[in-house]
Amino acid sequence: MQIQAGANWKAHRSIHALCLDEGAQQLAPLGRVRYVQLEPGAVNVEGTIAELGRTVVCRCGADRNRIEQIDTVPGRNTLFVPVRGAGRLGTMSLGSDCAIWARRGTRLITFLDRHFIGVSISVDAQRLQDAAADMRLKPAVGDSEICVLHVPAVRVAGIDRLVQELLALPGTESNAAAANARVAVMEGAVLHMIATLLGSHPPRQSTARDSTSRIRAVVRARDFVDAHLDQPLSLAKICQASYASPRALEYGFREAFALSPMAYVRCARLSRVRHELFLAEPRPKAVTQLAMKWGFWHLGQFSRDYRAFFGELPSETLARSNERVGCVIPMRETDSPESFTALR
């Protein structure tokens, strides 16, 4: 990328959103993102994202428990580093002593708690491979599409400091040569850091705390629910699909997501409606059609639940949909407050 004199060499912007779908829109340079909100209330998404040449660097968090699904960009590799809070990738717990490495075009599904702040770095796969070869480093991650690395907390803190310093730098230079030189230096620093990390930190082994039978059942249940949200779902059917008893699944969901299995179903369906309303063109009966599509047949109760959970009526979400700048690419479908509290 060549930059003209006086131009902004760093496509840098703050992330500020009051709903997860708006936050996903602002994270689009990292890939296609969709969320399941797991707690009621308006969400405050805060962070910073910058495009440094062909490298994307982001530091971001949100103040509600959530499931994040991201399809990373084909031809690019992505490093995700938890720096605060807790999360879970499949059966593996996530904290500030690890990093997730995702290869080109991989789908990554994680649970993130309300305190979670993470660093994400998306790099061109070939450029990273060339940088590692120049450094004579051989990655320890093998050929896995997704790999969780054990990274000492002090190293995670160092990565976080580097990213914050990069994001805080001013974004203009007086001449093109200085701007392009700065891009090259910053991209080089990021590629060097990632190549060193991959070459020196082996994949983390699962522990007993990670891989309990209950958590494995929860992962199977969540995958089943997400693939069948537009169909009738009962606890018995979810238990059958996940090979777990109702009691084990109840304990597992509360351990993993802090809510019951059927509360998760309701959260996932409401989040799916909101995601489609966020992208929809305002039209007659749009709310009714989407509510019924995702299993809400009592429209009055649906509107009350939606408002209790998201802080606005579905019609208000739809009315604001034509004000969006840009668009989040829709994901594949297959792949009152007191009433909600009672579900938890």
Which pTM value belongs to this model? 0.84
Distance in angstroms (rounded) separating the CA atoms of residues 192 and 186:
10
- The 10s digit of each residue's pLDDT in 76-124 is 999 999 999 999 998 889 999 999 999 888 899 999 999 999 999 999 8
Domains of the chain in sequence order: 11-200 (2.60.120), 213-341 (1.10.10.60)
117-124/55-62 β-pairing: antiparallel
- The 10s digit of each residue's pLDDT in 30-45 is 999 999 999 999 999 9
Between 334 and 235, the more confident residue is 235
pLDDT of amino acid 170: 67
Examine the pLDDT at 192 and tell me if it is beyond 90. Answer: no
The percent of residues in the chain predicted with pLDDT above 70, rounded, is 81
Query: What would the mean pLDDT of 35-60 be, rounded to a whole number?
Result: 93
